Structure 1
């Protein structure tokens, strides 16, 4: 009886119902769009980090993260190919690329620039670096014995372009100076402006020749799916010597990603609270107005023998139905808007300390949709409690007097 009567009352109060539903739909839609937008930021930032610098996993000597950037020669993996073969045998692994880190001076014949460099396996790095864009020239290939790719900042500082010859000066692992001439084949732009300002890449064999070593500092591992990172990391750790080597995932290697996620999650939490209060206040106001206008009706219901709790239950059921309808409509509207916006894309400027902008979309994730629906539904139900208690507690005489 309460359900049927509540449903009829909803459609009888069309203006008030439309106002309440509008507030709920607006809130749920806002949560879906903002949540999907924030999730897209997380995904795109993560993929840009993985496919321009870190890969999904990295294997290196113990202590390399803390001291390896200053003394890479002290943290060499002497048998990189043997370790790489073990990692490559894991089903989730797509590719394993060795890197040899170094620092030195790059000379263009007129001036020097302090650089940080990587000896890489060119073809593997090209497959890994899908977010590494070229602003001039081409990518390094395995055929480039003495080719060099330089960051956009390095090219700007030294006035370099493809075809120029440069001299690289660095220390061998024994501490002696060594030099080689390289031809610039390309200028790249990664996601990080700081990285591009100092980074150069040369073939791994050339870096090993310069440093007089057959080792490598890092084995960069890419996976078929980013979602497999946690399980693949456990398998990689089981495949390597734990006394000598360690493996870390991309989130640990890119600590700025974790900080960015924390920042946006807090901001989104505040936005959720704002939308929750907005729905609560809007629905409470509408229910209060509706209940006051219907006070004589409720007095008549009480006079016919119904109890206070019957009136209270009727109002709660009405708002539960409103919440159910409004939250469902909000999900439908939000999903349609998300699909429409994603089809067009949202041009975004480069994030702080980044070079490249990107096109954002609205990601429809189950968790975002369910949480938005629940917030819309529960906020509507909670908003009805106080007005329902106040109306149901009004005496029959006072309620009937409102109708005169």
Structure 2
């Protein structure tokens, strides 16, 4: 919901452009930096416990963001809500994957989950526009109300689980610190890409990679590793996570371009922008209804490739964007993109958690969430850098938008190549569709 609210936040709090960027980046930094730790914590300390605890933290600090009277208060609130999401999201996903047995039943549950999540991505921008037209602070207060309702329901409905606190060897503190430091530095390098020199970006990225190497070394020697390295040797899981990264990189990069075009270039209001993008919310309907039928008929892999292919077509159509485009001219891209996201998001979630032992579902969910979040940050950072680099003294123009659109288009094309390679490995088969679904 932040996307369309940022101009109003800047005007009310008197923030500079660089300070405003941290309203988004602080959340991404907290989320991306701690999500793998959050996934492991849910496996070790209890999924229900982590979900309820960090949902409460999310609720409190989202409310604090709405009460902020200065930029630093808002940035701190956003960072802590990002950390809360980093612990809460993999816990929530692993509650689903451990409640339902692997196979068609879990797949159906995950597709419903993915439909709601996909709707959140798309409807968030629409809702943000509607709330900002009232007061930008409602962008923070509305999640407080939603989180309170979820918390009340979760206390009664989420099943209790047994924390693995008796695991021999402790909690791999060295691995935790090195991985968290690595993720923070790598995400920081990405989110700051448009605003710092290439040398500074290279330095922070190199430090992050060095900590990542240290983490791998520690995990190889640890009796109770934070992340079992064998999990990362699975080619299907790697393809699913890379596909997830590229899907979100393209989707968030495109959303940013669309908002700039509608608000900054065309002069549309937050409410008009939100209503224009409302059609993207169709994925919340398509994901739990159309996608399961297609997955049962054609298999997970083919549906993922089809979704990424549709997103590539959607981005390519928007390359013709004009100064006086009607909404009818934009509509094909929005319709294709909502369908593409509905087809790819859920099956990628299934593929990234299939075949993973129950005691590692939290970690698998954390890895997937990292891929989603890092992809969103990367797509946003690269698109921002292109728009800024191509903008003139009067701001971003059509040439800047068209050049930036090549970024999500390239991400979709790479996603097709990565995920389609799994289809080639499997080869053609005459197995029944349900059996294909079981293997995916």
Shorter-chain TM-score above 0.5: no
TM-score, length of structure 2 as denominator length: 0.22
More helix by share: 2
TM-score, length of structure 1 as denominator length: 0.23
